[in-house]
A and B are shown apart, each in its own frame.
Chain A
């Protein structure tokens, strides 16, 4: 074996990765798992273990047994490493299964109730256990959007202000504010609902979408504040210094340099907040209740929403109403997913921009770094 010395002018050298898993090894591993899966299926057929959970258990046991059987020939260190690998993977598998199951079962159970008019009809002239080709969820979507809009209008400015306080002003209360925001994130949603009931609903004398929106705002504020802070932290200090060096006061620097740089990030903060509260049920059961028809007035009385629609349909308990609950869940999950993907796309972009320091404002008023 000779030492290969690359001459300086040779073509680019492919980096060697001797530790990388070879394709053949990967194929063997996949094949082994497939065999184990089949074996586990066999075990579920002949033993009392049954169904998906029985199969999963059999699979994990088979996998662990194999690992131990192979590992006895290894040294103590490698043996422990191999066993831990299987245990950790199994735990992770168990942790992920419920969410997968939720997505799959919602889709499977919910698609029956979906028809073209589902998004645009309401339940005013449809009873809860009518055939699934009548009625719809339009009023609930409208109600949810109204309340979420109210919550966003209330929390976005406050969240941004507290973000600016924590990153720009950095007053004496920084620790305190951060601590309170963190603790507020844990206020149970039903308590927020009770609070708004005792204040807004009782003083207005009726349940309303406005009350529901304010209750959602209480739950949304911590998410928005925290995300806004995270986003503002990404703005490089050079931009601020540049602002000051050009003679801008703090307020001008903050409002005209820092904020525009993270515009997309702040939108992300709002969207994450929306995704967090749009499915909240408990506070709405105490503040806005439910309606069966379209309703556009946030202070005119009870206002329907997707979560309360699903809740009411499920509690009604007939075959068709439960199917409606699942269809409503499909709509709700889709909305959450939509906002979520939107937030990620915007967030990814703004993070890159802030890191590069090439926000629009940075280019136009301060010059590119």
Chain B
């Protein structure tokens, strides 16, 4: 019996010419700028905030006081510097507002994405998709302006209603009946800011559902909801989660919209209808104007905390996106 020799594939070697190697080197260097930039941002923030972390330690994260003891000349030791910087309530505030925003944004985005992909008449499909992209490009400043000038009157009515009916639940209780600048109203505005982002990601993954799977579902006698529930939703789940994470990152780092909508109060508060709140990003913008050198260092430290939080959220999101995006 003769053995059949299977031919082994030839070794393919690519030899790049010198010009090619230079080209590849330049391109690689260009591509690595983002990496370098991210590294630079991180190291600069760490470097400039080291003093603050050395002085206040973990208290910077958990404390509730932000007090600047005023300007002084370099080396002026005539009076002690009693500045205290800590951002505990702002971190909690960021989380509270972002959570409220996501509670509204996630169902709205899923509904919006499903509607555009599966319910909207074909004639307005393209218009809706274009509108969605455009909405994602509306500056957050204009969302803030709209929020405080237009939305607040609606938001206050809902907040009053919530407080009236559900005020016995601690988080809906208030100390003063002034709902206009509450985390609840700000969270609603933030939700409308996040919805375009999460919706467009969700729509994108839903639109990639294999058509034959959906058709199979119909052929087996499934209804539209049946097809969505058993094919589209499971297929798009990780994409929707990734979109939500991206939106969460955006909500946590939002500055001007929150700056316009909320009173910054350095007090731990869980009452979402009370007019106390704030977030790290808007605090940085607020305190920056008249900050002393020492305070600048503390602000940079706050920036570092924010940077780390959003980076973790975004890395999780982009990891999910990369794992679920089919390779071209």
Contact = CB atoms under 8 A, between A and B. Distances in A.
B112 A96 contact: yes
A95 B196 CA distance: 8
Nearest to B283: A190
B237 interface: no
B23 interface: yes
Interface string A19-32: 00000000000000
Contact of B34 (A101, A181, A311, A322): A181
A307 B139 contact: yes
B284 A102 contact: no
Contact of B23 (A105, A157, A192, A250): A250
Given A81-B223, A179-B318, A190-B281, A195 B44 contact: yes
B111 A92 contact: yes
Given A173-B32, A186-B311, A190-B284, A279 B141 contact: yes
A178 B35 CA distance: 10
B83 interface: no
B304 to A, nearest CB: 8
A91 to B, nearest CB: 2
Contact of B146 (A51, A106, A189): A106
Given A91-B110, A183-B311, A191-B253, A99 B196 contact: yes
Given A158-B33, A179-B315, A105 B111 contact: no
Contacts of B154: 51-53
B234 interface: no
Contact of A183 (B44, B195, B303, B315): B315
A352 to B, nearest CB: 15
B314 interface: yes
Contact of B116 (A92, A168, A169, A337): A92
Interface in B114-148: 114-116, 119-120, 128, 130-131, 133-135, 137-143, 145-146
Given A186-B246, A311-B141, A109 B149 contact: yes
Contact of B137 (A85, A92, A276): A276
Interface stretch (B14-22, B56-64, B73-81, B264-272): B14-22
Contact of A90 (B111, B225, B318): B111
A181 B108 CA distance: 28
Contacts of B131: 96, 99
A4 B114 CA distance: 39
Nearest to B31: A165
Interface string A329-354: 10011001100100010000000000
| Most chain B CB neighbours (cut-off 10 Å) among A186, A198, A333 | A186
Contacts of A164: 27, 30-31
A75 B163 CA distance: 40
Nearest to A192: B41
Interface string A159-201: 0111011101101010111111111111111111011001100
A280 B146 CA distance: 16
B24 interface: yes
A199 B44 contact: yes
Nearest to B111: A91
Given A78-B223, A276-B137, A251 B20 contact: yes
B72 interface: no
A285 interface: yes
B243 interface: no
A94 interface: yes
Q: From A77, A99, A307, A329, name the one whose CB has the most chain B CB atoms within 10 angstroms.
A: A99
Contacts of B140: 279, 281
A88 interface: yes
B150 interface: yes
Interface string B140-180: 11110110011100100110000000000000000000000
Interface in B1-56: 16-17, 19-20, 22-24, 26-35, 37-38, 40-41, 44-45, 48
A286 interface: yes
A103 to B, nearest CB: 9
Contacts of B313: 186
Contact of A249 (B17, B252, B307): B17
Contacts of A161: 26-27, 29-31, 33
A249 B285 contact: no
A206 to B, nearest CB: 15
A222 interface: yes
B300 interface: yes
B217 interface: no
A326 interface: yes
Contacts of A199: 44
B70 interface: no
Interface string B179-203: 0000000000000100110010000
B133 to A, nearest CB: 7
A266 B87 CA distance: 42
A254 interface: yes
B208 interface: no
B281 A188 contact: yes
A246 to B, nearest CB: 15
Contact of B255 (A106, A189, A225): A189
Nearest to B284: A190
Given A176-B35, A182-B314, A183-B38, 8 more contacts: A50-B157, A92-B111, A96-B131, A188-B310, A189-B255, A191-B303, A282-B285, A340-B133
* Closest 9 A/B residue pairs (Cβ): A279-B139, A91-B111, A161-B30, A188-B253, A186-B314, A182-B318, A92-B115, A165-B31, A251-B23
Interface of B: 16-17, 19-20, 22-24, 26-35, 37-38, 40-41, 44-45, 48, 107-112, 114-116, 119-120, 128, 130-131, 133-135, 137-143, 145-146, 149-151, 154, 157-158, 192, 195-196, 199, 223-226, 228, 246, 249-250, 252-256, 260, 281, 284-285, 288, 296, 299-300, 303, 306-307, 310-311, 313-315, 317-319, 321-322, 328
17 contacts: A53-B158, A85-B224, A85-B225, A98-B195, A162-B30, A185-B246, A186-B249, A186-B313, A188-B253, A189-B253, A190-B253, A192-B41, A195-B40, A195-B44, A221-B37, A285-B288, A286-B284
